[in-house]
A = this chain, B = another copy of it.
Amino acid sequence: MPVETKDGSALHLKVKDAIIQLINDGEYKPEAQLPTEAEFCDKYGVSRTTVRTALQQLTMEGYIYRKRGSGTFVAAHKVKQILTTTVEHFSKQITMQGKNR
């Protein structure tokens, strides 16, 4: 099920949105392990970099957390709620980060 590239928006945002959808739909349950980076690459037909950008944003926004050497997991709801209220703050940081490169 590759994501489409019709309009001008970034590919990684589509991957990100697709994953958020699956989390909200309960497809990926709290504390459950998500597919690996490689599996997301296959699943959406995108590069590793694209997947990582999406997962990085989801991590910063509190949807997921990652454990080195173990995997990627869905954050517990409580944490998710707290964090989403500060997404605006986060977005600024992300933007700034982009500027620093």
Contact = CB atoms under 8 A, between A and B. Distances in A.
Interface of A: 47, 59-60, 62, 65, 67, 69, 75-76, 79, 82-83, 86, 89-90, 93-94, 96-98, 100-101
Nearest to A98: B65
Nearest to A94: B65
Given A47-B69, A69-B47, A86-B86, A62 B93 contact: yes
A44 to B, nearest CB: 15
A67 B101 contact: yes
Contacts of A98: 65, 67
Task: Report, nearest first, the 9 A-B pairs whose CB atoms are least far apart.
Answer: A65-B97, A79-B97, A83-B93, A86-B90, A82-B93, A86-B89, A86-B86, A79-B93, A75-B97
